[in-house]
Structure 1
Amino acid sequence: SNAANNSTMWKGINNYVFFTPQDGMKVIITGRITVYPPRGTYQLDARSMKPAGEGELQKAFEELKQRLKNEGLFDQDIKKEIPVFPQKIGIVTGSDTAALRDMLSVAERRYPIVKIIIAPAKVQGEGASEEISEQIKNLNRKKDIDIIIIARGGGSLEDLWAFNEEIVARAIFNSKIPVISGIGHEIDFTIADFVSDLRAPTPSAAMELATPNKDELFAFINEFSYTSRNNISEKINELKEEVGYQIKSFGFRNLTNIINNKKQTIDNYLFRIQVNISNFLNQNKNGLAFLNKSIESYNIEQIMKRGFVLVEQQGKLIKRKTDFKLKSEFLLKFVDGNVKVKNG
């Protein structure tokens, strides 16, 4: 228990130590054993160092949090705006994890036209923080990503520690692309949450914040169209009534001038209405065009024209092999007609 061994940490490596070691503090050091030639003694060439135990981790967390806050990394006025209609979302998380599956499910349900780019990274253990920060940088190099989500499921403070590393905080802060964090559960907070442009309580919630709801979007478009038509109709009727009143009031002496003046007024109103509608549509044309293209691609008739066939058995659409019943007739539905097949 009283054994000792010399350890060194070279300049440059200590830049990744995010806390100030204190006398008596227990730490975990990783590195490699080397030989010190002048004495022929062994020493540990340290490559990383972190606090050991929940108490020490919490102290280091608070120390780094305060230092980054003082630097301005958490300031609200530098947070980037989250796009309303993203076309491509990058996800930094563990590969083949429940968190990833949950996010993909939410995206398919809410906004199936969005493209997902998965940037897999370790989210726990040695080297995790380096992989996370590097994947954030890689997504920034692509230049066509609209939103980055960094996420992982719940765990202890130590489990989530990769997201408390300064290297990850710096990568998020330097990202040109808006970053949404969805780390752990609602009660979990990491340094990455404070630096990110938007914090979500869970990975699924992060994807919900990143995507619009297609049903709400269609309802909004329909409501806007209905309201615009009604407003135009009401304004025209008001102007017609005013023209009629003017004609009755002044007779036909100034009829030509009155009509011309009111016609110009109507034209001005129509022009302003058209400009407002045009501006709104122009602002949202990318999202609308994207939706229309996606809706067309999901049209079952268009899919069948490309050579796909639907299979029905006992009036039900067969989606899986396990649903198909042997020795029972079935129906093949082509784009130009149906064929009934008896399965002997």
Structure 2
Amino acid sequence: MQIIDNSVHQRVYTISELTADIKSLLEENFPFIWLSGEISNFRVPVSGHFYFTLKDQKAQVSAVMFRGQNRNLRFVPEDGMSVTGLGRISVYEPRGSYQIILEYLEPEGVGALQVSFEQMKARLSAEGLFDDRHKKPLPFLPEKISVITSPTGAVVHDILRVISRRFPNCHVEIIPVRVQGDEAEGEIVSALKLLSTRDDADVAILARGGGSLEDLHAFNSEGVTRAIFDSPIPIVSAVGHETDFTIADFVADLRAPTPSVAAELVVPLKQDLQEACSGLSNRLIRQFHRYLDQHRSRVSELSERLTDPKKRIQDMRLMADDLTARLIRVFRNDMRQRREQLSWRVNQLKALSPTAILERGYSITRTVPGSVVLMDSHRVSKGQQLEVMLAKGGLICRVEGKTEDGQTDKTDI
């Protein structure tokens, strides 16, 4: 067993002293360092500071980035993102832990601007700002074109040259703005708001020449994107070269690969319109002459078929007289036939009349009293009174005897 020599002076550290010495040692030896790692446990409390952990395969360290520094970032850190940052080591004495306080942070392998571009593009796309249903159609023939660009660059001259060549007397308005630098975003937003407030242009071109992602940063900003989306006037984006894409391109009503193409898209070729108008005018004249010829032929045909009104009236009178005579003849024939039918029926009735039968020598015998017509000799008795009706007058008789089939009844002898 080792015996400690009490004669040797020993310093006993308190926790605070040890932590303070460690803090001084670390902070003095690592004032600013570059550090790379993967973000995890990323969180943002109400204070606005960024708190997260930087780790690799073997170790991890707590990291913080205060609001004053993180508001200058052009991207939003996310869990799983590999980053490189500049910071200083700090010891948080109440917990006895060390952390790195970051002053600068950028994505590892991909620039911060590119990450910011992709993040904002995804977020605005999710909001529906790029949907086709929000795209406004360009006017066929604008009376006034507004161009938002730098007044000193080659872009404005290219646009004016193309518009002047295609439609010389078209009204073009230049709204000068910076297209690069820290003040570019604010000036472009102000120009778009002015355009919306005045609302006297039919279409607007937002243009600048090509450049790096840093040069085109203003056209990838959220402020410019939302100002384009809110504009009631159709916006044509013509930023950079054909291979350059900005968020302004996605939200604009139409993207042109170059500023010169944008000028060609917003105005038609005047010569083509003149030729089209001339062709339509000639076609209209031909159609009108064809229409007149057809109606002249029709009028001529109808004129030939049209007779003199007096002659037409005379013909109608003759026709009326003829129809009247035919009607009278038909009526008389009908009346004659009806009279003949009536006379025949009357004769038929007369032939069947009892009076007619009596006039032919027949008589009708009836019982007295009772006036029952006799048709059978068995129904009367000897000595019974009978009434015999003749064609003229009648007889009252007494039965003296009866016969049957011309033979005298023997009971009556």
TM-score normalised by structure 2 residue count: 0.50
Structure with greater helix share of residues = 1
Question: 2: CA distance between counterparts of 1:236 and 1:99?
Answer: 54
2:155 aligns to what?
A: 99
2:213 aligns to what?
A: 157
The alpha carbon displacement at 1:182 in A equals 0.6
The structure 2 residue matched to 1:238, chosen from 294, 308, 320, is 294
SS at match of 1:74: coil
Say whether residues 1:141 and 2:170 are aligned partners.
no
The alpha carbon displacement at 1:72 in A equals 1.1
Say whether residues 1:120 and 2:120 are aligned partners.
no
Question: 2: CA distance between counterparts of 1:44 and 1:138?
Answer: 40
8 Å CA contact 2:149, 2:207 repeated in 1: yes
8 Å CA contact 1:8, 1:45 repeated in 2: no
Amino acid in structure 1 at the alignment position of 2:32: A
1:111 aligns to what?
A: 167
Question: 1: CA distance between counterparts of 2:66 and 2:151?
Answer: 35
SS at match of 1:25: strand
The structure 2 residue matched to 1:194, chosen from 242, 246, 250, is 250
Question: 2: CA distance between counterparts of 1:51 and 1:196?
Answer: 29
1:8 aligns to what?
A: 67
**Structure 1 segment 26-175 matched on structure 2, within 5 A:** 55-175=111-231
The alpha carbon displacement at 1:8 in A equals 2.9
SS at match of 2:83: coil
8 Å CA contact 2:121, 2:247 repeated in 1: yes
Say whether residues 1:25 and 2:83 are aligned partners.
yes
1:210 aligns to what?
A: 266
The alignment-based identity, stated in percent, is 40
SS at match of 1:181: strand
1:161-194 per-residue CA deviation (whole Å, 9 max, x = no partner) reads: 2211111100100111111111111122111011
The alpha carbon displacement at 1:125 in A equals 2.5
SS at match of 1:125: coil
Residue ranges of structure 1 left out of the alignment (5+ in a row): 29-42, 258-344
8 Å CA contact 1:9, 1:45 repeated in 2: no
The alpha carbon displacement at 1:245 in A equals 3.9
Against the structure 1 CA distance between its residues 168 and 50, is the aligned structure 2 distance closer, same or farther, given a 3 Å change threshold? farther
The alpha carbon displacement at 1:100 in A equals 1.0
1:179 aligns to what?
A: 235
Aligned residue pairs: how many? 236
The alpha carbon displacement at 1:244 in A equals 3.4
8 Å CA contact 2:85, 2:103 repeated in 1: no
8 Å CA contact 1:51, 1:57 repeated in 2: no
Question: 2: CA distance between counterparts of 1:44 and 1:177?
Answer: 44
The alpha carbon displacement at 1:239 in A equals 2.2
Against the structure 1 CA distance between its residues 151 and 64, is the aligned structure 2 distance closer, same or farther, given a 3 Å change threshold? same
Amino acid in structure 2 at the alignment position of 1:223: G
The alpha carbon displacement at 1:59 in A equals 2.8
Say whether residues 1:252 and 2:307 are aligned partners.
yes
SS at match of 1:89: strand
Moved more, 191-200 or 85-94: 85-94
Amino acid in structure 2 at the alignment position of 1:231: Q
Residue ranges of structure 2 left out of the alignment (5+ in a row): 1-29, 34-63, 87-100, 313-413
Amino acid in structure 2 at the alignment position of 1:252: T
Question: 2: CA distance between counterparts of 1:140 and 1:45?
Answer: 40
- Structure with bigger gyration radius: 2
Question: 2: CA distance between counterparts of 1:64 and 1:181?
Answer: 18
Amino acid in structure 2 at the alignment position of 1:234: R
**Structure 1 segment 271-286 matched on structure 2, within 5 A:** none
Amino acid in structure 2 at the alignment position of 1:147: V
Question: 1: CA distance between counterparts of 2:162 and 2:293?
Answer: 46
